[in-house]
Amino acid sequence: MMTTTQNLTGKVAFVTGATRGIGVETVRGLARLGAEVIIGARDAEKGVQVAEQLKQEGLKAVSIKIDVNSTEDHAAAYSYIHEHYGKLDILINNAGILRDEESVSVPIVNRTSTLPEKDLRETFDVNFFAPILLTRALLPLIRKSDAGRIVNLSSVLGSLTLHADPASPIYSIKTFAYNASKTALNAFTIHLAHELKDTSIKVNSIHPGWIRTELGGNKADLDEVEGSRTSILMATLPDDGPTGGFYHLDSPLPW
């Protein structure tokens, strides 16, 4: 069983896509452990509302506006965190999209050869390029942490091993843009973890589970609180915890 550090007093965390679903529950969970959490909100007004709600619960949370596709917003996030905290202990790249064109049909129809280029590029912009560029922008602040943690929200649908296995439960779920973007994000996790292997920073990909959110749908088997558990687990790893892995809870998943 993987152990975690449960006291986050003095730690600073930043969670993107954090005004709803898994994101807001991840913020709530980290704040309950004592962290000061920054809500990354594309909708500035909604971010302020969520931060105020958490403050009413006795939790430390603030909100900043960030469109994860905007490098100007990345720079602004860096400036805000540098000015107010001087470091960043936890970065959770939570924001992501699944285009409607891939998810409207049940059963899902494989549209790999016909999916519009626009949908493919937009999916990769949010799910792959945005986490890379934001992480790069904030890495100088994460290096100032005694124990930096970077958590990339992937999906079991990014597993090439499972997609190639006819006996796999995800074998028929060929939503190409989404799946491929998560596979690529996993590659980023492996490469960045290797680059940082001689530091105190740990980088991991996670599969939150099939969650009842706008993305996961109402037939999913887990709620949003349960969906936040793996993110929190990887954000609170001790010094001897893993890096460069792909997990659901404390179980490794195949690449």
Q: What is the DSSP letter of 126?
A: I
CA-based max dimension of the chain:
52
Query: Pick the catalytic residue: 78, 171, 178, 247?
Result: 178
CA-derived radius of gyration, the chain: 17
Cα 153 from chain centre = 3
Q: Which H, E and C letters describe 46-109, residue by residue?
A: HHHHHHHHHHHCCCCEEEEECCCCCHHHHHHHHHHHHHHCCCCCEEEECCCCCCHHHHCCCCCC
| 178 flagged as catalytic | yes
For residue 3, give both structure tokens: 């152990």
* Neighbour-count burial for 127-151, b at 16+ CB within 10 Å, e otherwise: bbbbbbbbbebbbebbeebebbbbb
Instruction: Tell me how many helices (H) and strands (E) the chain has.
Output: 9, 8
In angstroms, the first-to-last Cα distance of the chain is 21
β-pairing, 90-93 vs 61-65, is unpaired
β-pairing, 202-206 vs 36-41, is unpaired
- The answer to whether 234 and 205 are in contact (CB under 8 A) is no
Task: Point out the residues that are catalytic.
Answer: 178
